[in-house]
Every structure is written in structure tokens, then in C-alpha cells.
Structure 1
Amino acid sequence: MPDSVAARSRKCRDKLSLIIDSLSSPSQGPRRISYEQVIDELARFSLWMGNIGALHLPKSPLSLESRLSEADEVLSHVHDLLEDLYEVADQLFEIASGVRKGEVAPITPDEDNEDDEEGGDHELEISEEVELFEQIGASISRLFRVTSLIRQAAPNDLFTKALSRNRYRFNDQFDVAHVGEKFSKLRSDNLVWLQKRLGSAITQRRHYLTYMQDHREKLEGQREATYTAEMRSQAPTLPQMAQNLPVRAIPDNASRPSTFFTKATTINPSNITPQMLTVEDEPDFDDDARSYTTISRSVDGDLDSSTMIRIPKLDDLRKGFRKEVECPFCFRMKTFKSERVWRRHVYSDLRAYICTFKDCDAPYFGDINEWFRHEMQFHRVQYSCVVCKKAWDDKDKFLRHMQLHPELLNKDKEEDLLDISRTPLEHIPAEKCPCCTDWVERLKLRAPTQANADGGLEAVITVVPNVFKRHLASHLEQLALFAIPIGSTTKGSTDSNVAIEEDQSS
């Protein structure tokens, strides 16, 4: 019987640890790669194991064998990748431990290469030691690639799944009160329902974050000591530490207290094709090429620091030479090309965007454009009479008017008439922001001539939908980030709470 994923993973981890041990020995002489570089790759591999639950025994419901029980081809591919990683690591260990010398092949530059420096008759070299190390990194990257495919193929939405677990229920009273404190307009009688909705959403995000934390710990099992920092700071004791690193309790221990029972999701094999398994260097699945609006500034140009401060910087999450970042909220390993893409991912995790219209049961949205498209299609609309060519923002007023045209108003087909007559608003009154009252005044200060265009009459300040979207979304994002526990991300998160609690000035 072939080794399990857990057994193969431990063998790979042990071999990488032995390489670190050998490279740290001064008796081996100069090296083409450093033990710090291998430490980073071991850290990447350990993150992969914990993130996907690779160390669970095959019979565990949390194991990769259980998750891929209906996807034999994918499981076989994981076995192949682990075998390749072990073979490459074993060859590098032979060189690092002095069993044999690594080969070095000279490369003579192309004689026709006009870019060569004048007099550059030196030879380039290909080192077997360096190439083996690069293959280790590539093998681990392929494992991360498969992990992403497995996550994508899972049929369940984790946010919805988290909310379905009712073992822990959080009281939303505090969060509802916070919404009212931050946006006093929502405490008015006609908007208190929205205060309750937005506050309850924060509470449900706490539920989700707690579930994901528990789910991550269950998959990883008993947490490993953070060895990377210790290795860097205690280089003299590195051989002993490297030997101790592979020792870890088997994580199939159900006695540890848990917020929720966790079972790895079984994936549908049809969701992963052989071509997907072999594609190299796949870009971030969030699709950077798509057009997104990043809510980083308020409409009046002031940096909305309270929105951004609770999101850790990518540089704070990256360690060493790793390309992948483990999101501290959903605990998925991903690559992010920019802070903008990273922030978009956080808001997607938190389902930051919520319909702000009463009696609408639309789900929480993780995408700003999908959310506002919903509001513009179903709520921020006007109804035009095909006979009179007049338009009404209010559905009931439109239907009352259509009683003047009984030939068009048929009770049985009222919804059809509304669908035909409904079009998105081209301009939205700034006063329609349900959260704040000062935006209109700020806009008037920016465009005083427009505000006084009607003489002494009170002008209605309107904005185009995209501007309104950015403004309202910034409020929703601030509320969503309030769900993040203080101190859960970066050292500065405690101070960031001050910015969250301040009265908004934007």
C-alpha cells in the first residue's frame, strides 16, 4: 500500500529539516545556497500542510484522502508532487551533507549576443545545488496550486456554512449600538431597521471569523511552534532545532475544545480537470484584470483611515522569500499582486456590502460591483410612463399615475409593467446616503455655484451612480472591518481601534 499523504508530507518535512541541519554546519565549507533560504521553503511547506490538513491520518474526516475520496486523479497528483519534492530534496541533501559534490556546468554566452559587456569573456555556470533548490520551491508552488483548485471545487460557501453552525450564537446588541453611534442618522425611526441589519451583519461576520479560525486549527491540528524566527535568531543551535522540528503530535485529536465540529468538504471531481492540475504559474484567482473600484478614499478626497487601518499590510504578512500569503481571516494561501487586490480580498471575505433597502432579502455581497448592480437594478430606479414620458422615483406614485391609463395597467401583469418601465437612475441625490448627513454640505462647499444655480431655492445635490457607490461602500467597509478582533492581525491593530471609534470626518 502506498504511503498516505500524511506520511509523505512528514518525509518531505524531515528531509528539508536535515538539509537545514547540514547547511548550518560550518565544517561543510562555502555554499551556493544558504540555510536561511531552505528555512523559508520549509516554512512554505509547513504552511501548506497546515492549510490543507495534510498531516491528518487517512481515516480522519479532515484528511486529504477524505476530502478527495471522489477525486482519485487529484489525490494521485498530490502524491506525485510529494514524491517529486522528496526526490529533489533527497538529492540536495546528498550535496549539502557532503555525500557527493554538486555538479557545475559552464555556459558560454552566445557569441551573437550584442548585449554582452565588452570584454565579458567570463563563463556563466549552472549549479546543480541551485537548480535542485529552485525545483524544491517549484514543487511547493505546485502544491499550493492544487490547494487553490481544491478550495475552488468545494461546493459549499464557507460564509453561509459558518452561519449555519448554531453552537455559538453572538449577541448583536453591541454591534447594533456601534452602528448607531457611528452613523447617528440610522437611529432615526425610519432607518432603525437598517441600523439593526448592519449591526447584525457585523455580528454574523464575527461568527464567520470564529468558525474559520476553528476550521483552520482543526485542519492544522495541534499548532507547531513558530520555528522560523527562532532559527534565524539562534543560528548556533540550529542543528538541534532542525532535528526537533519534525516532531509533532498526530493532529487527529478530538479532545481539544472546539467552537464547531469541523469536517473537510468533499469536492466534486468534475470541478477539477487534468489541464487545471498541470498549468504552471496560474495568476491569482481573484482575476486582477477585472475592473474593480477600490474604496480607499472618501469622495471629498480625504483618506478614510478608519476603513484601511484594520487591514494588515502585505509586507507584514509576507515572511522571508515566500510568494504566498496566508489570509488571517479565511486562512487560504494566495498570492496578491498589490495592496489593492489584497484589500479587495478582505472585503470579499467579510461580505462587506449589504443591500440598504427595506424588505429586501438579498444575500451579503463580497463584490462591490455586484452589490451596487443589485441596488441599481432593483432599487435605485425610476419608472417611466410610455404615454406621458414622465418618470417617478416612487413605485406607488407611478402605479397611481398608471391608473389614468387603464388600458396599460392590468393587475395580473403589474410586475411585467414595472419591469418594462423601470430604468436605473442616472443621478442619485447625495442626501439619499442612509448613513451620513454631512456629505451634502461637503459637496456644496466643493461646488457652490452649482448649489446656488436655482437662485434662492434649495438645490438638490446629485452625483453620478459611481460616485454614490464609492461613498456608500466606504461606510459599509468601515462597519465590516469592525468585526475583526482587536490584535488579531498586526501589532498596530490596538491603536487602530481608536480610529474606528472616532466620529467620522469624511
Structure 2
Amino acid sequence: FELWARNIAALQDAHLPSSLEHRLRDDASARGIVKKAMLYLEESLHMALSIASGERENEVWDLLSPDEQPADTSVDLYSGSSELRELGLAIQEGITNLFRLSMIIRKKPEKDEYLKASLTYTIDPTADIIHVGDKYPPAKKGDKWLMERLGIAITRRRQYLLYRKEHQEKMEQVHTLKKDAGGKTVWSGEKASTYHPNEALEDSRPADLNIWGFVSSAPTEYADSSKGKDGASDLLRTPLLPKDSVGVRAEYNQHFECPYCWRPQKVGDKNEWKKHIFGDLRPYVCTFESCGLNMFESQNQWFEHEMRFHRKQWTCQYCKETTAQSRPELEKHMTLIHADRIQESHLDGLLDACRVSRVDATECPLCTEYGNKFQRINQSKKCDVSLKQFQEHLGRHMEQLALSALPQEE
């Protein structure tokens, strides 16, 4: 509870802009949900305290009656429970729900934080640019624009991590408990993030706001950045879950404070932890010179961008040099240039056959090993791979560069 309260500034003076109450001042529905969660927790705590203090007896009961006990008495079946034990579970659930609420309340504009960080801190990107060239020598060929872009992206991540760390430190400078004029306890100087009333809870506003109805979305599969060589040396691994102030490492399915974004997190497995880290780092960068420094949180977002705006998706089967970025564009070409060669009833099938579904593995701009591997396998110069294979391969390279921005665990 202390971690939740500190992180979202629940105990700050209500007049402070960073306080939870101040940030919820324009959203009555959100205030009601938080109040209901707090009352639920308070009731469970009072009931548990009355038992722990001896004010009333702890009721103990069996889940099975004597007549229902199993015949095999050698089987150790813990079927008993108690009121205090159930209250403990209720308290734990209450705190978990508060964390769920905080995740929804603080829908923060990550892009703005990257922008704020770049405007706040000046870091020379030269070392990061050199690092890209050392790790992936093919990037140093040509005019080196990609090496520079990827290096600057690493620097942007360092700026963001520094921004988040110093923001957290500023918000924790004062830790004194005090009383305001009305006698209310407040906790000054606690950390908090930006709240946006129009965004928070926008996906959870049924007629009856039920705070116990929140469910987590299905986990998405993430590439294991500790696997594969792909022409790179000194592979970096995704960091383990962090340790707390006394050196105890966090566990899956338990709340902890991320040491990179400094916000409470709860992840179910290694895949979810990677997804969170890469969400903070935005590893994926557009690899086409005509584009700017676009940084993406997910592989799919990044590759969809490249496919939509840069990579050819359709190739005319009659004049192989003609490519198109969309099906309608190629259809227009077919009907204008090759109308005498196609029948309208066969046009859809022909367009399907024109879609590009593979890419040359040698097109990887960061290594030569990938293309060489498929050339050896096929014993020829032909080394086409599926778009998904190419996406995951190039994405792993970028994940490696992104991980280099993280501070090394002591």
C-alpha cells in the first residue's frame, strides 16, 4: 500500500497539483471508483485489526463437514480456513485493485516525455553512434546515415531514462509527514505522474462502474533478445526483475517499481517484462533514409510503417520493374497498361499473386551473416525469407541497441 500511495501521491495535500485528489478533481467517476476501493480496503483492515487485537474471536471453520471427510485419512487435505485468513486475502486483493486503478488513471503521454527529455538534457550522441558502427559494421558503409540515426536513438533513450530518474528523485526530496490546517495527514513531496481526465478510465465506463471487473489483456509474444547471433557480438540480455532497497529481487505477479520508468509494474512472466522494457525504450526505428527519427514501441507498429510507406508490397507480374504500395494502385496500373492481357474475372486472383510476401535476407542493413546463412542453406545466391522472418531478425538487432541504453545492474 505504501508503494502505491507514494507513487500516485495519494497522501499528498489535496491542493498540490501532483496529488491524486487534485488530478481527479474534474472526474467524479474516477474519484468514486478510488473511494470505493479505499472503503473496501478500510473495512477489511478494521475487521482484521479487531481480531488481531483480541477484541473479537477469529472464527475458524472447515470447508468439509465431518460426514464429508475423505475415507483416506493419509491424504493431507487442508480444507480449513479462518476469518482472519480470508480477510488477509481480501486486503491483498484490495491493494491489487488500487494498483490496477493507478495503471488506468495515469495514462501518460510517453511521446511527450521523450520530447521533454530531449529538450531538458543535452547528451553528445557521438559515443552511441560509434557503438552502433562497432556492433554492426555494415552500418558504417555508404553515407552512414543509418548508423547516425540508430546512435541518436540510443541517446534519446538515455535522455528519457535520465528524465524519468531525476523526475522521481525530485518528487521524493521531501518525505516528512505533517498535518495541514484541517488536521488531515498529508505526505509531501511524493512522486506522481500526469493525469488526463479525458483519457483515464475511457475504456472502463459501463453504466455500473465495477472496479473489480478489470481484466488484463492477453500477453503478446516478444522476441527473446538473448537468442541468436545474427552477426552481432556481445549479445545483451533483457535485465532480470529489479531488486528492492534491501536487495530482494521482485517476483512475477507481484507489484514492484520499475527501475527505468519508476512506475509500479506487475508482470506475469519474462515475456511481459520484456514487453514493458521495450515499451519504455522504443527499440524499433525506421530504416529508410527518407523518413525521420520515428521510434516505435512494438515490432508490428514499426514494420507496418515500413511496409506502408517504404517497402514495396506489390509487383506487376507482366512488367517486373513496376511496383506499388497498395492493391488499388497496382489494380489501376493493370487496368490501364495491361487491359488487353487480363480478363476482369481473373483480376482479383492476379492481384493476389502480385503481392510481395518475401524479402531478400541480404537486405539486412546491419549484418551480412543473415544473408550468408540462407545462401549456404540453399547452396545458391537465392536467399528469400518471409516478411515475418525478416521483421523479427532486424527487430532483434534494434532490441540489442536499445538495451545498450540501460544502466548496468550492479
TM-score (norm 1): 0.64
Residue 438 of structure 1 aligns with which residue? 369
Structure 1 position 297, deviation (Å): 2.4
Equivalent of residue 228 in structure 2, options 295, 298, 302: 298
**Residues 85, 253 of structure 1: alpha-carbon distance in 2 compared, 3 angstrom cutoff:** closer
**Count of aligned residue pairs for this structure pair:** 377
Name the % identity: 30
Residue 339 (str. 1) matches residue 270 (str. 2): yes
Contact 1:66 1:266 in 2 (8 A): no
Contact 1:71 1:267 in 2 (8 A): yes
Residue 127 of structure 2 aligns with which residue? 174
SS, match of residue 80 in structure 2:
strand
Structure 1 position 163, deviation (Å): 1.7
Letter in 1 for 2:205: T
* Aligned positions of 1:55-454 closer than 5 A: 55-109=11-65, 116-119=70-73, 124-151=79-106, 154=107, 156-165=108-117, 166-190=119-143, 192-219=144-171, 222=174, 250-252=187-189, 264-268=194-198, 271=202, 272-274=204-206, 278-280=210-212, 282-285=214-217, 287-288=218-219, 290=220, 293-298=223-228, 306-308=235-237, 310-313=238-241, 319=250, 323-361=254-292, 363-381=294-312, 384-385=315-316, 388-392=318-322, 425-445=356-376, 447=377, 450-452=378-380
Cα deviation 1:160-188 (Å, max 9, x = unaligned): 33323523222212111211121121122
**Residues 338, 311 of structure 1: alpha-carbon distance in 2 compared, 3 angstrom cutoff:** same
**Residues 105, 263 of structure 1: alpha-carbon distance in 2 compared, 3 angstrom cutoff:** closer
Structure 1 stretch 103-112 or stretch 164-173: which is displaced more? 103-112
Q: In 1, Cα distance between the equivalents of 2:251 and 2:221?
A: 31
**Residues 159, 327 of structure 1: alpha-carbon distance in 2 compared, 3 angstrom cutoff:** farther
Residue 482 (str. 1) matches residue 410 (str. 2): no
Gaps of 5+ in 2: 177-184, 326-332, 339-350
Q: Which has the higher helix share?
A: 1
Q: In 2, Cα distance between the equivalents of 1:371 and 1:146?
A: 30
Structure 1 position 60, deviation (Å): 0.8
**Residues 423, 205 of structure 1: alpha-carbon distance in 2 compared, 3 angstrom cutoff:** farther
Residue 499 of structure 1 aligns with which residue? none
Structure 1 position 370, deviation (Å): 1.7
Contact 2:12 2:186 in 1 (8 A): no
SS, match of residue 400 in structure 2:
helix
Residue 467 (str. 1) matches residue 389 (str. 2): yes
Structure 1 stretch 46-55 or stretch 94-103: which is displaced more? 94-103
Q: In 1, Cα distance between the equivalents of 2:353 and 2:407?
A: 42
Letter in 1 for 2:310: H
Gaps of 5+ in 1: 1-44, 225-247, 255-261, 396-403, 410-419, 453-458, 492-506
Q: In 1, Cα distance between the equivalents of 2:260 and 2:41?
A: 29
SS, match of residue 301 in structure 2:
helix
Contact 1:296 1:304 in 2 (8 A): no
Structure 1 position 111, deviation (Å): 5.4
Structure 1 position 318, deviation (Å): 5.0
Q: In 2, Cα distance between the equivalents of 1:336 and 1:123?
A: 29
Cα deviation 1:316-365 (Å, max 9, x = unaligned): 98547972233222233333222122112211211011110111137311
